[in-house]
A and B are shown apart, each in its own frame.
Chain A
Amino acid sequence: MRINKQNNLNFSSNASLIKNFKRAAGEGFAKIDDIGEGVNITLDFLGKAVLVPATIMLVSKEEKEKKEYSALKNPVAATLQLLMEVPILMYGSKLIEKLANKGKLDKEGSNFSYNEKAAKEGFTTALQEAAKKDETLKTKSVELIERLNKKGLNSNLKDAFQDSFEKLPEETSKALKKSLENYDTTHKRLYHLQNRVCFVAAIVLTPLLCAAEDFLFPKVMKLLKGEKTPPKGQSRVQISLQNFKSQVAKGDLKC
């Protein structure tokens, strides 16, 4: 009887744990808003810096020293790659945002705008105008605009704005929702444009990035392991056929 009681308790605590996990997972994934090149770069880095060394250490049957060297090589290459790709994405995105917010990316006569600043101003002005006539909205809008200025627009904040429009007269609510939708669409347009332009930039700069990686990689490895720097032009191409096979198998080859 005592054992049954204990089992029932364990079962119910496990069930509630799973329930909580599912709820947390759901809430977490629902919060994911802007997914772009940043996620791709992060996953590529994690794969090379964590998954490959872990696989080598667990699966490879080579000698310990060789295994450790291979496991170290990948995080170093991944870090170098990350240090070169992140600035392209960061500064490229900032440049495009600057151009877009000055209206330099919008074509005259076209209603397809990338000017997020103007869209945000249009929405906040409309909200503040509406707030003058409604006390509840007045307090709420100050709080929400503060959140908007701090964290930028996301799906949670968009929901909070929309909830605050619910009790307003139909016409005002409709106009504010339209203005918010316009702001959200412009924000997303700019985000996707930044991602695609930075992708094109990364492709165009690939030869340069590979050359920089080939130049820096032996130097960093030398610093870390006291390894002798290979002669110029021999970093990858002069490997033996056997060596090549094992490098392919571990995903060790670099540009």
Chain B
Amino acid sequence: MLKIAEQNIKNLANSTFAKKHITKCIENPKFLTATLLATSVSKDVFAYALRVHNTVKNKEIPEDKKSFVAKMDAITGVTTAVVQLSTGFMLASDKVQKNICKHLFSELGEGTKKFKQASKGFSVVSTLVGATLFAKRIIVPLISSPIASYLEHKHNQKGNSN
């Protein structure tokens, strides 16, 4: 088992894709930010996809509720992904970062080595905090709630007409 894992990790580590990806993560802080944002979002998307799959396969849920619950899970998953990605990329944009760093790290002297290091660290942290804390935990519920109400209303209307 460990041998198989070892061989798979070795193959992955030496693949052209992994080598290019790792080199880019080291050399380009913006790429690293995008990668961490993508890994965070993809974990959520995968978990929501799994929920949809489990709901559809669950025989204990009545058919009329099944499609509604699955649809809601799918919509929440998509909303989570879209809101997190758009917030993250907006925060990571050069314009936003330059403006904040210029004011926040003015004491370090613009263009100095310390200023560049601080800007690099701030870019990654602020993007992840914005996307995974504020976008995911505050903006997503605010958007999901009206969508849930609308779909529930529609679902109830459909149920009444049947």
Contact = CB atoms under 8 A, between A and B. Distances in A.
A55 B134 CA distance: 11
Interface string A234-249: 1001100110110011
Interface of A: 19, 22-23, 25-32, 35-37, 39-40, 43-44, 46-48, 51-52, 55, 95-96, 99, 104-105, 107, 110, 112, 114, 155, 185, 188-189, 192-193, 196-197, 199-200, 202-203, 206-207, 210, 233-234, 237-238, 241-242, 244-245, 248-251, 253, 255
B4 to A, nearest CB: 13
B141 A251 contact: yes
Contact of B19 (A112, A199, A244): A112
Contacts of B124: 32, 35, 39
B58 A99 contact: no
Given A40-B39, A44-B132, A189-B22, A245 B149 contact: yes
Contacts of A39: 36, 124-125, 128
B105 A241 contact: no
B40 to A, nearest CB: 5
Contacts of A55: 137-138, 141
Quick one: which of A27, A43, A46, A185 has the most chain B CB within 10 A?
A43
Interface in B4-25: 5-6, 9-10, 12-14, 18-19, 21-22, 25
A253 B50 CA distance: 13
Nearest to B140: A251
A191 B125 CA distance: 17
A196 B20 CA distance: 13
A251 to B, nearest CB: 5
Nearest to A37: B39
A209 to B, nearest CB: 9
Contacts of B115: 26
Contact of A251 (B19, B26, B137): B137
Contacts of B54: 237
A191 B153 CA distance: 49
Contacts of B32: 35
Contact of A40 (B26, B51, B132): B132
Interface string B26-55: 100000100010011011001100110011
B13 A237 contact: no
B26 A188 contact: yes
Given A43-B133, A244-B69, 8 more contacts: A19-B107, A22-B107, A27-B108, A55-B138, A95-B5, A192-B25, A251-B140, A253-B76
Contacts of A25: 104-105, 118
